[in-house]
Amino acid sequence: MNTHNGTLSVRVARIEQLTPEIKRFTLVDPDGKHLPAFSGGSHVVVVLEDGDKTHRNAYSLMSSPYDSSAYQIAVRRVSDGRGGSRLMHDKVCQGDLLQILQPANLFPLAKHARQHVFVAGGVGITPVYSQLEELHVKQSTFELHLAVRGPEHTALGLELQARYGQCVHLYVQGQQRLDIRSVLAGRPLGSHVYVCGPDSMIDDTLDSAHALGWTDSHIHYERFVEQGSTGQPFSVTLARQGVTIEVPAEQSLLEAAEQAGYKVPYLCRGGACGYCETEVLEVDGELDHRDDWLSEDDKLSKRKFMPCVSRANCSRLVVDL
Amino acid sequence: MLITGIKSRPVYDRLQPMTGGLRHLIAGQGSGGEAMLRLLADMSETQRHNSTLLYSTESFSGHSHLQALQDADAAGLEVFASNQALIDALRERLGDAHMGTRLYLSGSESFIGTAMQAANAVDLNRDEVLREHSGTLVRRVWCAHCDTYTENVTQRVFTCPGCQLNLVVRDHYSRRLAAFQGIKADGEVPGELPAAEELDT
């Protein structure tokens, strides 16, 4: 097994408190060199050592894809999360070095679209930042519909309004209501919708678009992936390594394998990208599929498994890792 | 020099109602009328009443389904004397159409290919278009030297009506051009023509 991506060392050049919960981090190369190029919608994984634990959190790049002198990410502090965002908020200081993985894009723009419509909620605005920058440079038109929970959460929306003007529509809870169905109604052929936000917003967008006769190839979404998974502990045999490891209640198979010293290829760590898909060689019991990647048929077949989020309730599980 | 087995040639579908669609544009030509009629029969009444038919009577084989299509129960039928006139109208309809529209094409490869150029211009994707081929696989050929398109080519070697060069028809189908490529037949050794043969029409 080998790593598919080396880590990249970056220095925290600046930290801005944007809203009560969101901080923006500007990351640069420690030697002032250019960072690897990326496209609109890309993310990086930040690797954070936390005692004997390692957090690997994915954050969207919100800086311009046309400026490789720095990356910017926005981190929302999740008080009851697994600890990665708390570490970023409470411990990381300007000047610190961080380890990140090279950018990857699971939320790219549709290059042939005639209209781009963005729907975002809260910190879900972050991948849209770099997408808008890409469209702006290409002089393509777009519309953004951004909903936030209150006036104190509008900083990013106001920043985008200042930059792009009228095509940014801001909806503040209690003041304006975002009606996704009417935003999508009456669009010309070749329209594409991109949605990033809470699950309810993504589901509402998918349902509205389908009801209006949109096909899946015109609907793009990125969920806030819950990194890792928790549940009942189980054991798993990694066939290629010839070892059996225990997956504890608060870890995913991927995390348990990494902690035991085995490198498993991964990208999003949230069941979205399909990169870590593995084959089930033997199973005696039930698989608990928790990903957005495998088809229903694949899930029922008991032949495929996503180590980053899925679990098992079985007496024996052998995977091709 | 010629490629055997034409991987670049589109794989065609069988027309059937696309259930998620709210409006349906059904365009066909010549013997393609048969697939249009079968599709209408497979549709629900609501789908038929949200369907517009575009039919061109131009046909290589002489088949016409005009009478049956005029009798069909649909929101509208527009009839055209040539494929080109139909495709010009289709381009206009697609330009004005909204998301939720599905496109069905049936007819010759040349007709489907040029209609797909109009569909691609408005970013209709593979999950919004069905294409059913009917009739022969006579080829539309693009001359690499003078940019002339020639319809209904059946011979491996033919003379381009645009520049009078002897062209050999290659087995590569370009979706962008909606045509097979024709290039100077004796370009390597002047006077040495490849064997004449009938294309796999």
Dig out the tokens for A297 from the structure: 């048929």
Rounded to whole angstroms, the Cα distance separating A167 from A160 reads 9
Is residue B4, in this structure, part of any structural domain at all? no
Most A CBs within 10 Å, among B99, B103, B120, to test the A interface: B99
User: What's the pLDDT score for residue A4?
Assistant: 40
User: What's the pLDDT score for residue B196?
Assistant: 86
Is residue B193, in this structure, part of any structural domain at all? no
Q: Which residues of chain B neighbour A184 with C-beta distances below 8 Å?
A: 99
Most A CBs within 10 Å, among B90, B103, B123, to test the A interface: B123
Nearest chain B alpha carbon to A216:
B127
Surface-to-core class of residue A200, CB atoms within 10 Å of its CB (0-12 exposed, 13-18 middle, 19+ buried): exposed
Instruction: Give the number of other CB atoms < 10 A from CB of residue A290.
Output: 16
Is residue B18, in this structure, part of any structural domain at all? no
Cβ distance B127 to A186 less than 8 Å, yes or no, reads no
B150 and B117 within one domain: no
| pLDDT < 50 positions in chain B | 1-4
Residue B91 belongs to domain spanning: 23-133
User: What's the pLDDT score for residue B1?
Assistant: 36
**Is pLDDT at A1 greater than 60 in this prediction?**
no
Are β-strands A311-319 and A304-305 bridged in parallel, bridged antiparallel, or unpaired?
unpaired
Length of chain A measured in residues: 321
Cβ distance B98 to A187 less than 8 Å, yes or no, reads yes
Is residue B27, in this structure, part of any structural domain at all? yes
Which of B93, B113, B133 is a domain's end point?
B133
pLDDT by residue (tens digit) across A97-156?
999 998 989 899 999 999 999 999 999 999 999 999 999 999 999 999 999 999 999 999
Sole residue written with tokens 């919100």:
A62
User: What's the pLDDT score for residue B108?
Assistant: 92
User: What's the pLDDT score for residue A226?
Assistant: 64
Is residue B82, in this structure, part of any structural domain at all? yes
Is residue B121, in this structure, part of any structural domain at all? yes
Are β-strands B166-174 and B179-184 bridged in parallel, bridged antiparallel, or unpaired?
antiparallel
Residues 55-94 of B with CB under 8 A from A: 94
Sole residue written with tokens 């930040």:
A46
The CATH number of whichever domain residue B95 belongs to comes to 3.40.50.80
Tell me if ipTM is over 0.95.
no
Is residue B159, in this structure, part of any structural domain at all? yes
Give how many domains chain B has, as a whole number: 2
**Is pLDDT at A3 greater than 50 in this prediction?**
no
B113 and B27 within one domain: yes
Is residue B2, in this structure, part of any structural domain at all? no
pLDDT by residue (tens digit) across A129-144?
999 999 999 999 999 9
Cβ distance B100 to A212 less than 8 Å, yes or no, reads yes
Decide if B188 touches A, using CB distance below 8 A: no
B166 and B75 within one domain: no
Decide if B127 touches A, using CB distance below 8 A: yes
B73 and B50 within one domain: yes
Domains defined along chain A, listed by start = 7-105 (2.40.30.10), 115-223 (3.40.50.80), 234-319 (3.10.20.30)
Beta bridge partners of A49: A54
Q: Which residues of chain A neighbour B22 with C-beta distances below 8 Å?
A: 212-213
Q: Alpha helix locations (H) across chain B?
A: 33-42, 45-49, 66-71, 83-96, 109-121
**Is pLDDT at A2 greater than 60 in this prediction?**
no
Decide if A217 touches B, using CB distance below 8 A: yes
Cβ-Cβ contacts under 8 Å for A288 (sequence gap 6 or more) = A231, A310, A311, A312, A313
Average model confidence (pLDDT) for chain A?
Answer: 92
